[in-house]
Each structure stands twice: as C-alpha cells, then as structure tokens.
Amino acid sequence: MNLDIPKSLLDEVEELISHYPQKRSASLMLLHAFQEHFGHVSKESVEWIAAKLDLRPINVYELVTFYPMFREEPAGRHVIKVCRTLSCALGGSGKLHGHLCQKLGLDPKVHGLQTSKDGKFSVEFVECLASCGTAPVMMCNEDFHESVSADKADQIMDQCS
C-alpha cells in the first residue's frame, strides 16, 4: 500500500478509534481525517482504513460513495459548492454555477466536481444546504454564503488566496 501517513495522522487515528467501543464505528471519522489530510479519499486510504478497522475495503468504500462530502479525486485549494435543489434552482443557482464555471474555464454543463487549471478552485453542484429561504446559496470551503449574486461570488473568490 503506497500511502505516506504522518505520525500526527496516525495519532489522530488511534485517538478517534479510542472513542468507540467497536473499532468499525470510527469509519466515518477516519474518512474525515484522511480527507482533511490528503484532500480526498483515495483507494489506498480506503484500503488502509479497512485494514486498520478489520473491515473489508468495500465496507469503507460504500461510505465514500454514499456520503456526498467525501471526494475520491483531489480538489482545488478552495472548494465551492453551489446548491442546485429547488429553491436555489428557482433563485438562480444555475446562473451562479455558470458564472463560476465561465470565470474558471470550466464546463457549466458538468454538475460534478471540476477544478480550475491552476488548482486554485473546484466547483460542484450539491443538494440542499438547508438555507432555502436565502437562495441561491453556496459554500466556499467551510464558509456559508447566502443570496449569492455573480458580483458577490466574485468578491468571495477574490478573498481566497
């Protein structure tokens, strides 16, 4: 398995596992820790976590494919998630996504994760972000933004280094 895991992550893994009476219950937390460290969850990470928790890789991989917050591919330094569910769709999220894609040289027809050539931004559509009254809504990394116009999106991106 070709995975370079630093001691800090190994320590975090042990700490997380210690919180649960059964090792397998730490699966989601380990996936979060690996994505936080590596930027995505690779096949090697899935295999490593499965071995660590005495699970089969498929038991871990099914979590990666079920939960939309996990990425199998590397993303840009800043990940923008645009809500595409009904209120936001009616509120202009398609236009917002199109604006972002045009600005970053990405394909507006693609709803999944796309990354700009310079690796600075990734953009993707996601389902409801639970702020339907302030559509359109997007997240930039962990920050939540409401009523996002094209101008507001430009300002948000300008603040990203």
Give contact residues for ligand FES (rule: CB under 6 A).
83, 85-88, 128-132, 135, 137
* Gap between the Cα atoms of 115 and 111, Å rounded: 12
Which of 24, 40, 38 minimizes the C-alpha distance to 73? 40
CB of residue 116 to ligand FES, shortest distance in Å: 24
* 30 vs 88, beta carbon nearer ligand FES: 88
* 63 vs 139, beta carbon nearer ligand FES: 139
* 31 vs 83, beta carbon nearer ligand FES: 83
* 51 vs 90, beta carbon nearer ligand FES: 90
CB of residue 98 to ligand FES, shortest distance in Å: 16
CB of residue 79 to ligand FES, shortest distance in Å: 17
- 139 by Cβ neighbours in 10 Å (0-12 / 13-18 / 19+) ranks as middle
* 78 in Cβ contact with 120 (< 8 Å): yes
Query: Among all chains, which residue has been given the structure tokens 């928790």?
Result: 53
